Amino acid sequence: MAPILTRIGARRYTLPNGLGNGDLMVVLDMLRAYLEHDAHLRSGTAADRASPAGYGDFSLSFNMLQTTNGLTSRVAEESSEGPCISGPSPSLTDLIGEEVPPAQPVHTSASQPPSDGRWLSSRRAELMEEALWMNLETSKRQREWRDRSIAERKAAKRARHTMSSLPDHQTTNKGEGTSVIHTGSTPHSPPSATTVSPRHLSQMEVDNDEARTHTSESTRGDTEKGAKGKGRATKK
């Protein structure tokens, strides 16, 4: 025997709506709740139990469908005067057939670890590990650069301190000899002295001799001019 309801999907069924156009959709769990409530109505124990949502529409639509199809099974209807029972109660097999859809598996991935023991996929774990090592390498380079900068600043400071503690003189080497020039960095320093090479000393001596010769000749000429002047004055 064909099922009374039409299956439209996994655990979903429809029947014509007895109150208007279109169909009513009912899920498998609600069908079980409707059949359970029908049993309580028939046994007189439904007064202390809550009525399932949509039971009135389902019972009316189902009974109208059964009347149209000439079938005898009915669902007990609720009324102010009490349950209205007009035929035997249908079974779940009558409603959906022999094959009952398997229950949907409950997703418990949030409470159970994956099969490989890792919450992330292999690709994501690889990317996270790579990013971690790149971050460590960057931190290491930054630390090395900072240590090198500190060492360079300390070395420059020591060099400036060493230069400031050296004697205030300058030494030059020009090939013929060594010249040391004292600059006298303080007001109380001695006069500056210059040490020259032997070649420069010889040139200075020649210049001094020429100067003395020129001075002697000038003195002798002045003496002769003075003597001549006195002679002319005596003759007069």
Q: List, in sequence order, every residue forming a beta bridge with 6; answer none if it has no partner.
A: 14
> What does the block give as tokens for 196?
């020259």
Q: What does pLDDT average to in each consecutive run of 10 residues of the chain (236 residues)?
A: 87 88 91 94 89 92 91 90 89 84 58 60 80 87 90 89 72 51 49 54 61 62 58 51
* pLDDT the model gives residue 33: 94
Distance of CA 236 to the CA centre of its chain: 121
* pLDDT the model gives residue 13: 93
> What does the block give as tokens for 57?
């529409």
Place of tokens 């300390």: 154
Alpha-carbon span 63 to 75, nearest angstrom: 7
* pLDDT the model gives residue 29: 93
> What does the block give as tokens for 203?
């040139």
DSSP letter string over the chain? ---SSEEEETTEEEEE-TTSSSEEEEEHHHHHHHHHHHHHHHHT-GGGSPPPTTHHHHHHHHHHHHHHHT-----PBP-TT--B--SPPPPHHHHH-S-PPPPPPP--TTTS--TTS-SS-HHHHHHHHHHHHHHHHHHHHHHHHHHHHHHHHHHHHHHHHHHHHS-SEEEEE-SS-EEEEE---STTSPPP-B---HHHHHHHHHHHHHHHHHHHHHHHHHHHHHHHHHHHHHH-
Alpha-carbon span 88 to 122, nearest angstrom: 60
Place of tokens 């919450």: 119
* pLDDT the model gives residue 185: 47
